[in-house]
Structure 1
């Protein structure tokens, strides 16, 4: 095949991949609510989740009622390596992650977990998410309290028993600090609505959240 033919074939493969990714992301996976939850506490609480590119994760959770702020960043590695260029080498131990500040009087930790597993990412993919591959795109929860760790592990076990997915859940419960990402990664979805990646992979996630969890949309 000549150069032009190879280019056309590659473009076709990319287009097909984007269409498949969009179709998958437009559906909320029907999963049960968690049987266990973190008791509500006064003031805003923090949750940290990793599940692929932080642009889409951030966008989904910014639409959840009761969420006050979402920050894109890195978790699992050290402060010295918490930069996009270093994390992209896949050698730092970091995962692209988001920090969610939420009001437990309006939304519980278990509800955030349900959104995380159902529409924010695919918890069955190992060290990848959609078109992105490597351990920085892994599915991981970073509990901020012992109660969050207990609830997260219990919910993973509950979902595994429910067999909501054909493949095993790959989500890990890890320890690690969260470090905010560079300024240009914050609110990327809202600032770049026509970006090809946002259109193909992240807008469908937000649409799936809106249709799958209408009572949670703010």
Structure 2
């Protein structure tokens, strides 16, 4: 399987894999680096009770790992969004033919953290939003960046924030992140849950994802919590 090969190469040696050309990673330009972005100018109303949004930004291991350390996040579950339930499994999604994106359902308490702050962390720390159908060494539509909104207001705020960042030239290229209505979220297999927490010494995690955690701690010190909110039971 192509994506298994890519990650196996990273486990062996990212540098060696690049040297023999196994990773389709462009080294001709630097990726966008984490930076503290301004908050959204358009704010969502503060609803009562827990809320959720589904965020795709490359491999779900890192996306989940970051949001599990964000104060006000109650749950972060890796899974698949954008495709049908029948094909929402890792082997099939990894073919890049199902329409799914590797995603994370972030459940948060709006009394403790706003939706706008969730988006701010997402664009500041989690991904390079200028990439199309890839993040780092992972390439394919399943690694696209996309916000799956759970309400029209969430979608409106996300689109306005993207326009705001583009207008301010916050990145060197236009933001490629899509915004869509969530039509279904399917939790990933149990072995994908809490992957960063359980495998911090995995070279893929060390290279791609632990720097994101350090950026979260550096850029959002008031939002960073040392103890992650883990998935305490297998996905339903």
Answer yes or no: same fold by TM over 0.5. Answer: yes
Query: In the alignment, what sits opposite 2:194?
Result: 187
Q: Which of these residues, 36, 44, 54, is aligned with residue 50 of structure 2?
A: 44
Query: In the alignment, what sits opposite 2:84?
Result: 78
**CA 170–121 in structure 1, closer or farther in 2 if over 3 Å, else same:** same
Query: In the alignment, what sits opposite 1:142?
Result: 148
Query: In the alignment, what sits opposite 1:118?
Result: 124
Number of residue pairs aligned between Structure 1 and Structure 2: 205
CA contact (8 A) 1:74 1:179 kept: yes
Query: In the alignment, what sits opposite 1:100?
Result: 106
Q: Report the Cα distance in structure 2 between the residues aligned to 1:134 and 1:33, rounded to whole angstroms.
A: 30
Query: In the alignment, what sits opposite 1:28?
Result: 34
Quote how far apart the aligned CAs of 1:12 are.
Answer: 7.1
The CA deviation string for residues 27-85 of structure 1, in whole angstroms up to 9 with x for no partner, is: 53232110112211111111110000000000110111100110000000000000000
CA contact (8 A) 1:74 1:82 kept: yes
The TM-score normalised by the length of structure 2 is 0.82
Q: Report the Cα distance in structure 1 between the residues aligned to 2:208 and 2:51, rounded to whole angstroms.
A: 28
Q: Which of these residues, 163, 174, 178, is aligned with residue 185 of structure 2?
A: 178
Query: In the alignment, what sits opposite 1:13?
Result: 18
Q: Report the Cα distance in structure 2 between the residues aligned to 1:87 and 1:96, rounded to whole angstroms.
A: 8
Q: Report the Cα distance in structure 1 between the residues aligned to 2:122 and 2:36, rounded to whole angstroms.
A: 12
Gaps of 5+ in 2: 1-12, 226-236
CA contact (8 A) 1:30 1:164 kept: no
Query: In the alignment, what sits opposite 1:212?
Result: 219
Q: Report the Cα distance in structure 1 between the residues aligned to 2:173 and 2:19, rounded to whole angstroms.
A: 24
1:57 equivalenced with 2:41 (yes/no): no
RMSD: 2.1
